[in-house]
Amino acid sequence: MSVPRLVVAAPATGQGKTTIATGLMAALRRRGLVVSGHKVGPDYIDPGYHALATGRPGRNLDPHLVGEERVVPLLLHGAEGADVAVVEGVMGLFDGRVGGGGFASTAHVAALTRTPVLLVVDCARSSRSVGAVVHGMATFDPSVEVVGVVLNQVGSPRHAAEVVSSVRLPVLGQVPRDASVSTPSRHLGLVPAAERALSAAALDPLTDLVEQHVDLDAVLALAATAPDLDAVAWRPPVRPPGPGRPVVAVAGGRAFTFRYPETEELLRASGCDPVVLDPLHDTFLPSGTTGVYLGGGFPEVHATGLAANRSLMAQLHDAVADGLPTVAECAGLLYLCRSLDGVAMTGAVPADATMTERLTLRYPEAVAASDSLLTRAGERVTGHEFHRTHVTPEAGSAGLEPAWLVDGRPTGFASPTLHASYLHTHWAGHPQLAERFAAAVHRA
């Protein structure tokens, strides 16, 4: 299958990958092209900006979460109907899972998908040294093809000329410093686009910047050199239709901005009807709800507003207690706890959450601690955690079993109708989780 495509990578975090990748997506879309946006790794925030830029769902490509064999099919799935795909990398080009020899790095995904790499380099504090960095990046791994460079944070024309003279690859752009295109950050990185309630017009200054300083024709020419992919696009397995389509309330709004698009696609294919629930504003579950999916987000930022919606919290508490099939990942776990930093939450899980100074960031293989709504004891699943909160107790309480064993320690809460933990999983990589949840919803 033919898909013109480029990976946008960098030597390290903080070089401007998200700025340039998102700006390219928006600028190419402004040209009238259909653009597919992708992100290497588990991150939810950058795909939100990609979706804003492209008008299509932002997609993740992560060998750890879905397995190497599904990366190309998921790329093809996301890029169906697109004129060009832009894949934003993660961290530095060759940085992957710790101890994994570059596994799940941007370079790994570029090699799996046979995608040329456009390198973004921050030039703010160097000049000719940029040439050495680019040379090292381009020659470090023969399986990775670095085909061009965008110089970011360029100062004067004299500075730019000095940098360009040192680089032996095509320089496709020289982007100057511009504070107007910065994105606000907080304790876990960029503030999600959905939480800021942005429209596509909010990206106009960034789009203008990229249009003025990056050679889009050259970008498209390099994207067109990507070879055809001998694979079939991923499709969610379709469940034979049954009577009706049970409603699954899927948390959304400003407090719950994180979920993979494939999650809802799997639920639809399994005969369910995902309906977005905004726990900040919707006072009751959607009519006919027979399952709940509470994904990731920032309830710690919106705790007061969530607590003020007492009718929804009371209904959800009772529904979980009555056995409504419920999945909660990270933010969803916090929302189901009794309290979050002293603010009353739903109380469906007998635990309390507090903010901490310590960042938990891990990319583990988790082992199912028991048979539950989603899992079977001993089953292994890959996932990721990213949070600055702590739950007490950490696992299993008041009739609930631990959800997982991670690094040998029990974590989370599970039962035949509930699965709540910090671990984020990608259901396209572990479709049995979606199938079991959907089956429970149909039974309910």
Q: Domains, the chain, ranges and CATH?
A: 5-223 (3.40.50.300), 247-443 (3.40.50.880)
Beta bridge partners of residue 175, listed in sequence order:
152
List, in order, residues 6 or more apart from 120 with CB less than 8 Å away.
8, 9, 10, 15, 16, 17, 20, 149, 150, 152
The answer to whether residues 300 and 341 touch, using CB atoms and an 8 Å cutoff, is yes
Q: Identify the pLDDT of residue 187.
A: 38
**CA-to-CA distance for 280 and 299, rounded, in angstroms?**
10
Nearest Cα residue to 188 out of 405, 442, 388: 388
H or E, element range at 336: helix 331-336
Question: Residue 387's pLDDT is what?
Answer: 81
- What is the reported pLDDT for 306? 97
Per-residue pLDDT, 188: 37
The span from the CA of 328 to the CA of 420, in Å, is 4
pLDDT of residue 189: 43
Instruction: Identify the pLDDT of residue 191.
Output: 59
Of 333, 332, 315, the closest CA to residue 324 belongs to 315
What is the DSSP secondary structure assignment for residue 408, as one 8-state letter?
T
Quick one: pLDDT at residue 291? 98
Of residues 123, 272, 330, 337, which has the active-site annotation?
330
How confident is the chain (444 residues) per 10-residue block, as mean pLDDT? 95 93 96 98 91 95 98 98 98 94 97 98 94 97 97 92 96 85 47 60 88 97 97 90 87 94 96 97 96 94 96 98 97 97 96 90 93 97 92 91 95 97 97 96 93
Q: From the CB of residue 143, how many other CB atoms can be counted at a distance below 10 Å?
A: 10
pLDDT, residue 185, reads 42
Give the dihedral sign, CA 297/303/306/307: positive
123 in catalytic set: no
